[in-house]
Amino acid sequence: MVKIGVLGLQGAVREHVQAVQGSGAEAIVIKKVEQLKDIDGLILPGGESTTMRRLIDKYDFMDSLKEFAHSGKPVFGTCAGLILLAKNIVGYEEAHIGVMDVKVERNSFGRQKESFEETLDIAGVANDFPAVFIRAPHIVEAGENVEILAKHEDRIVVARQGNILGCSFHPELTDDYRFTAYFVNMVKEAK
């Protein structure tokens, strides 16, 4: 059974743990850098990207997260997690982890009160996936090695670059585990 870590600093950690378990993998909440060596894949949950960055720095995770992503082990960033993975962020001088060749715009679908749910066609996952958008970013630009898996109103909302998967929404906030199962399968294939 593959072991998938969920970065447990801030955000929808418990919901991702349930989705991983519901997809037939073992879930481990990652609170210490040394735990990264024990997992096969990692989820960076949705939450608040600025807060998450402060906690990543406070607990000295940054270099280890970059090494993990560069090792070829799969990493899945949802919402704020996508922002952490992006090489470029609109309006910001520097990236966070910066391992995915995309440019993202934070809160591009509006504030909390503009949250919505939309059924998406996600290549390789489902043509009817219930996507929950909460203060969601979107991918403004994607590099040539980035595969676009879904759009919403002409905005890129799901993309994959090799072992890195990112989405604008919160798949963990539904009881539909098909997207998490897609990531679990990426982890199995990488192992």
| Best CA proximity match to 104, nearest among 30, 57, 178, 164 | 164
Set 16, 79, 138, 167: catalytic member: 79
* Sign of torsion over alpha carbons 85, 89, 95, 98: positive
Per-residue pLDDT tens digits for 11-33: 999 999 999 999 999 999 999 99
Is the confidence at residue 110, as pLDDT, over 80? no
| Best CA proximity match to 124, nearest among 185, 83, 46, 45 | 185
Set 16, 96, 138, 170: catalytic member: 170
Looking only at the bridges linking them, the beta strands covering 26-30 and 3-7 are parallel
pLDDT of residue 111: 73
Per-residue pLDDT tens digits for 150-181: 999 999 999 999 999 999 999 999 999 999 99
Domain tally for the chain?
1
Q: What is the CATH number of the domain that holds 29?
A: 3.40.50.880
User: Is 79 annotated as catalytic?
Assistant: yes
Is the confidence at residue 119, as pLDDT, over 90? yes
User: Is 147 annotated as catalytic?
Assistant: no
Please state, in angstroms and rounded to a whole number, the distance separating the CA atoms of residues 21 and 28: 10
Which residues span the domain enclosing 88? 3-190
pLDDT of residue 147: 98
**pLDDT average, residue stretch 122-143:** 96
Q: The whole model's pTM is what?
A: 0.96
User: Is 170 annotated as catalytic?
Assistant: yes
